[in-house]
Chain A
């Protein structure tokens, strides 16, 4: 018979605790069908459950896996990282090459993040640094679906994704959950930390990397705190995808904790229009740049209100 390449299922097998999967198998699928018929959110949640994902992965092939409902709204909203990693664990495991094809040694080059006090170690892959590195664990709380809100194997326009009605509602300004040729929408993900530093909004000279030096000494290692320790305090960091306390603690020791996101090597030439949380004694007249901004963070990133 004709063999069309190896189309076995070893890709899934390696990632799985197969016994668990088999036990969960048929039952999980049936359970999903039942719940989905009733409450869509519950159905979506059931689809995104780890056990159900394991079961489907064990009984799927690539053709089916790439169209699995967990890759789409609404189930992706409920997906925990463990469920994503059933198939995609390589995102945390791959490493840059030690040597480029022409002989450039990775250890002799320096990534920008390696110039900061907040990072020690060799160059690592992007996903690991954002999710699993010690510093990420200290100051961030990123999950896969913070950035990845859907993926169409066709990679075309999100509006035309299956279940397209669900793909735009969670975002501010009705922005798409991913953009053409890009698995994410950078304006609603990357830009939150990697935008330009609007020094002029603070009445500072444009080159913050120079300005800060005049504000820093061994006693006050973080120039940002000159203003932001007492005078200007916001609760912007109080969102689900950041660890606000970790940031505050890190900021005491090093300005790089701030500079890493604000004012450092920004990827983009614009900055994220952060919400302007009111603070005590906030002046009534808003500066122009702040006029159209929301007063609270996105509901989807809201933390539970802490008990007093």
Chain B
């Protein structure tokens, strides 16, 4: 299977009729006499080339779909059943809208570069159009086309066989948000369509830890009792100080208009600070004070700040006394009186080590005076937003960083006030999110493991202890039973490429291979071929969001809904996930229960049923969210933007009106009731102890560990802006603007005789990848950065030529489940091995002798 065609050109792919029309026009043009510099008599745009203007095309409002944390409008301009181009929100499509309307209360929701490239993905050569069955070895990329009937028959038969032979935990649910984030067609790790399907079938091992932000989720839940600890994006415009802790909204966007509201804040005098090993574009845009920090030492620096604040009595003691549990001895719960409070820990009362800025400086590499300066600035500027992002949480003990940040946010009283920030996860406005059937089967599982431990489980079964795989406790006889994993469903998920330690995952698949062809099952459901799909037994072509009816919602920040009609008919034989699961459920005997509004004809005609689900959902929107617009009006307009009375700020009700926090104590729990009362962590999903208060815990590898003798660089693996994880890696428009490359500091590079553009190998004892270097002063010495999500391309020796950092990551999650994506020591050297960027890079060669198609 060829991933990349050399001659990809949307113009060719889509407007194939244009060339023909051109020829027809040739005679007309040639007739005119064209003197040297005299323009044609009536110089007119598109005089010779037929070119449909937007107003001559059919306009359909829709949105982007992939789960990057934002959601923006896309306007499809189509002719017949072909999307000719995409534009985005220009203010026209909401109620009372007009071209150019773009106010602070109701801003346009403009799509990012990824969203704008969707047409290239929709019509890409990598689209899956037919069900495919593997004919070669797993991972060998050999497939043949089969019918839907054959695919679903064989899959359902294998499912029944595996369930009967290996039990109700044989199939792992690895659904993720790659195919969809809509209210109806939802691929979701925990409660999506796949989870419900496998749960009803009675054979499901769930994957509970979320790769992006499990450490942060844990912190938010433990501290505030909810992950809805976020402000809406417009609240950022009201801060006087924004500390971007490992946060790069210039790359991740993170909400409808977060980045733009921060620009408004800057215009209003807000100061910005970036704590990050890299001087990111967010730092330059917001003119931030850059504090380079050693990766995975954030909790220590925050502890140093807390020390300064306590030592100088700069904390908001009134806020602490009213709202916080365990910040200091005076706020400890009665039942834990005398146990170690956060202040005891910070001041060294309990362990004899005050967590002074000087102590922190030795760990995190930030000068003590800078820690002091930042702490002072944060404590004295009101309101100030310390945005503790997810990325530093994707670390060994990443949850401790997020909890420490929450403690610092709480001690300065920046919670529940406009311009402050309690994030954390940062999920803000509560949307009406579910249109698909949601009932007691929404999340049925028979085992649930830490998501990146499946390979470990497969390779070591049955000699696996429950804490090794983070087995979630149950109240029945299945508690503690190690799953005998025999299959994986990848729904909108590229997890083989995206989880940690890919070499170990490949070994696990080989281990399954060795048990015999019929003893396991790997199914990949996606709209394009993916690096994960290469390893599947069956590839099921899934309709994109342009090809099915749905409603989009921002799940992170932004308060609007975007109608997503079926813009075009599904390409090839693609079907929606919901159609596939419904049909499989019919074959397995629970079709009616799985999709109660549908008959078996749903596989062929889903439109009326989808409409009914969505209309019912809109009735919920109307009643729960006080919306008076009719469903028909919403469909006609395309976007519904909520106008909030005032910017949504998390925990405003708690702080202003005394509503209890959703924690056991009703207070912000810096001292966690749940953790303090847990006696045996090996019986919990965490497996290993977690302290009741946030603490600095030395990670298993960092620039401070002895392993640096062998592997002197710490690698971080941030989210790229030209992909959503691995999605869009195949889009030439995006690839030509950004390269997969290893960012490294100039002084480090000089020592290794590496210049920008040199191909280097990056390796540690887990794996190796090949990638060009980008040498810059914008990265701190000792740190290298490699963006996650490159499509793996493994050579015969197990070396990845695409530059995928997950060949080097460790599949050992933090106790709370945080993926250790940023806890990587490695080494770097110039290499003669070849990097393969995975697309036809030569198509953009300025010198066209390099272009082989000419």
Q: Give the interface of A toward B (CB within 8 A).
A: 1-7, 10-11, 15, 61-67, 87-91, 94, 99-105, 108-112, 115, 153-154, 162, 183
Residues of B within 8 A of A15 (CB): 849
For B848, give the chain A residue with the smallest CB separation: A90
Residues of B within 8 A of A63 (CB): 757, 759, 772, 834-835, 837, 841
Q: Are A5 and B759 in contact (CB under 8 A)?
A: no
Residues of B within 8 A of A162 (CB): 755-757, 775
State whether A2 and B141 are in contact (beta carbons under 8 Å apart), knowing that A7-B836, A88-B847, A101-B22 are contacts in the complex. Answer: yes
Q: Give how many A-B residue pairs fall within 8 Å (CB-CB).
A: 110
State whether A4 and B849 are in contact (beta carbons under 8 Å apart), knowing that A112-B37, A153-B757 are contacts in the complex. Answer: no
Q: Which residue, of B33, B757, B839, B848, has the highest number of chain A Cβ atoms within 10 A?
A: B757
Docked CA distance A203–B26 (Å)? 49
Residues of A within 8 A of B26 (CB): 99, 101-103
What 4 A-B pairs are tightest by C-beta distance, nearest first?
A67-B757, A103-B26, A103-B30, A102-B29
B850 is an interface residue with CB less than 8 A from chain A? yes
Docked CA distance A162–B755 (Å)? 7
Docked CA distance A7–B141 (Å)? 18
Residues of A within 8 A of B3 (CB): 2-5
Q: Are B759 and A4 in contact (CB under 8 A)?
A: no
A212 → chain B, closest Cβ, in Å?
20
Docked CA distance A88–B847 (Å)? 7
Residues of B within 8 A of A88 (CB): 847, 849
Residue-wise, chain B 839-854 has the 8 Å CB interface mask toward A (1 for contact) of 1111001111110100
Partner of B756, one of A67, A87, A94, A99: A67
Docked CA distance A91–B850 (Å)? 12
B793 is an interface residue with CB less than 8 A from chain A? yes
B139 → chain A, closest Cβ, in Å?
8
Q: Number of B interface residues at 8 Å Cβ cutoff, please give it.
A: 48
Q: Are A62 and B36 in contact (CB under 8 A)?
A: no
Q: Are B849 and A104 in contact (CB under 8 A)?
A: no
Docked CA distance A104–B30 (Å)? 5
Q: Are A90 and B839 in contact (CB under 8 A)?
A: no
Interface residues of B in 624-678 (CB under 8 A from A): none
Docked CA distance A285–B40 (Å)? 50
Q: Are B758 and A5 in contact (CB under 8 A)?
A: no
Q: Are A105 and B30 in contact (CB under 8 A)?
A: yes
12 A-B residue pairings within 8 Å (CB atoms): A1-B140, A2-B1, A5-B840, A63-B772, A66-B757, A90-B849, A100-B29, A102-B22, A102-B29, A103-B30, A108-B34, A111-B36
Q: Are A3 and B2 in contact (CB under 8 A)?
A: yes
For B842, give the chain A residue with the smallest CB separation: A62
Residue-wise, chain B 272-310 has the 8 Å CB interface mask toward A (1 for contact) of 000000000000000000000000000000000000000
Interface residues of B in 814-852 (CB under 8 A from A): 834-842, 845-850, 852
Q: Are B793 and A4 in contact (CB under 8 A)?
A: yes
B336 is an interface residue with CB less than 8 A from chain A? no
For A110, give the chain B residue with the smallest CB separation: B36
State whether A104 and B29 are in contact (beta carbons under 8 Å apart), knowing that A4-B838, A4-B839 are contacts in the complex. Answer: yes
State whether A62 and B850 are in contact (beta carbons under 8 Å apart), knowing that A4-B839, A162-B756 are contacts in the complex. Answer: yes
For B4, give the chain A residue with the smallest CB separation: A5
B238 → chain A, closest Cβ, in Å?
35
Residues of A within 8 A of B757 (CB): 63-64, 66-67, 153, 162
Q: Are A89 and B849 in contact (CB under 8 A)?
A: yes
A16 → chain B, closest Cβ, in Å?
12
Interface residues of B in 133-157 (CB under 8 A from A): 140-141
Residues of A within 8 A of B111 (CB): none
B27 is an interface residue with CB less than 8 A from chain A? yes
B25 is an interface residue with CB less than 8 A from chain A? yes
Beyond A101-B49, A102-B26, A109-B34, 8 additional contacts (C-beta under 8 Å) are A11-B842, A11-B852, A62-B845, A87-B847, A94-B848, A102-B49, A103-B27, A109-B36
Docked CA distance A87–B851 (Å)? 12
Q: Are B48 and A102 in contact (CB under 8 A)?
A: yes
Q: Are B793 and A2 in contact (CB under 8 A)?
A: yes
B442 → chain A, closest Cβ, in Å?
37
B649 → chain A, closest Cβ, in Å?
40
B120 is an interface residue with CB less than 8 A from chain A? no
Docked CA distance A6–B772 (Å)? 19
For A115, give the chain B residue with the smallest CB separation: B36
Residues of A within 8 A of B838 (CB): 4
